[in-house]
């Protein structure tokens, strides 16, 4: 039996939020574009054999360039909410200091596109993409990283708090803290 996405969506009870989720590092690509800094995952992914069949996050699914089409697909599927993560090194290339305006502009476009298509954003502040300079200084074992996360979160709240009602602070915090 074949059922369409719309038919399946019609079976979902009223009040249920149908959502999808991603992580910036897994989908965005564009690792060397618009001022994005390096992340701890970039170093790992560059090691031969670290990723199955030597796939690369450099392009990933190219969400950075295909975002409007990706949002259109979500709308076509009947998605109500999209949980995405901000890429910390795209916002603060070194994990500290002022925000990278080009990085903020990408997420401005993403949020506007989601809302224009009736899709509620749910934003993850940190999804395992510690800026490389912070990682090299001890990462999460260095207390300063928590202070830098606070600074970064304040930037996100200031820039996007008018459009994001639901926030996830850290994806899988037990994994990061152990």
Q: Which residues contact 13 (CB under 8 A, 6 or more apart)?
A: none
Report pLDDT for 117.
98
Encoded tokens for 108 = 């401005």
- DSSP 3-state assignment of 20? strand
pLDDT at residue 137 greater than cutoff 80:
yes
Q: Superfamily assignment of 18-177 in CATH?
A: Glycosidases (3.20.20.80)
- Kind plus residue range of the DSSP H or E element containing 114: helix 101-116
Binned at pLDDT 50, 70 and 90, residue 113 comes out as very high
Q: Helix 101-116 to helix 143-160 angle, to the nearest 10 degrees?
A: 50
pLDDT at residue 127 greater than cutoff 70:
yes
Number of H helices, E strands in the chain: 9, 4
pLDDT at residue 177 greater than cutoff 70:
no
Q: Summarize the confidence of residues 103-131 as an average pLDDT.
A: 97
Encoded tokens for 100 = 């990278």
Q: Which residue has the higher pLDDT, 175 or 40?
A: 40
Give the model confidence (pLDDT) of 38-86 as tens digits: 999 999 998 988 888 878 888 999 999 999 999 999 999 889 999 999 9
Give the model confidence (pLDDT) of 77-106 as tens digits: 889 999 999 999 999 999 999 999 999 999
pLDDT at residue 24 greater than cutoff 70:
yes
């Amino acid at each position: 039996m074949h059922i369409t996405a719309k038919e399946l969506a019609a079976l979902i009870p009223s009040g249920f939020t149908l959502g999808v989720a991603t992580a910036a590092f897994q989908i965005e690509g564009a690792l060397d574009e618009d001022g994005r800094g390096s992340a701890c995952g970039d170093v790992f992914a560059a090691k031969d054999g670290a990723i199955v069949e030597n796939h690369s996050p450099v392009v990933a699914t190219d969400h950075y360039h295909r975002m409007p089409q990706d949002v259109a697909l979500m709308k076509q599927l009947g998605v109500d909410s999209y949980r995405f993560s901000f890429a910390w090194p795209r916002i603060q290339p070194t994990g500290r200091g002022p925000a990278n305006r080009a990085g903020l502009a990408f997420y401005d476009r993403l949020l506007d596109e989601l809302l224009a298509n009736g899709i509620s954003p749910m934003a993850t502040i940190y999804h395992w993409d510690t800026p490389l300079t912070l990682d090299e200084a001890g990462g999460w074992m260095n207390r300063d990283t928590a202070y830098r996360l606070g600074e970064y979160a304040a930037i996100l709240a200031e820039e996007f708090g008018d459009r994001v009602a639901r926030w996830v602070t850290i994806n899988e915090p037990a994994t990061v803290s152990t």
